[in-house]
Amino acid sequence: MNIKFIVTLILIVFATIFIVQNAEMVELRFLFWKMAMSRSLMFVFLVICGILIGWFLHSYMAKKNAAKKTIKSR
C-alpha cells in the first residue's frame, strides 16, 4: 500500500475519534450573530473551510507562478 494512503487513513480515524468524543453543544458568537451547534459539527465545518481555503490558495499560487514563468520565458 501507498504510505500516503495509510497516513491519510490514520489521520481520518483520529479525526473521527476526536469528533465523536466532542459532541457537546456549544454557542458560537460573532459580532451580533449567535448560533448553537454541536462541537463535533463545528469541527467538521472548520475542517471543510480549511480545506477549501487551502485549495483556493493553492490554485491562486499555481496560477500566479505559471504567469511568472510565462513572462520570464519571453
Q: Which residue has the higher pLDDT, 73 or 47?
A: 47
pTM: 0.59
Q: How many structural domains does the chain have?
A: 1
Rg of the chain on CA atoms, in Å? 19
Gap between the Cα atoms of 24 and 16, Å rounded: 15
- Provide the pLDDT for residue 69: 75
Domain that holds residue 12: 3-72
Q: Across all residues in the chain, what is the average pLDDT?
A: 86
Q: Which residue has the higher pLDDT, 1 or 33?
A: 33
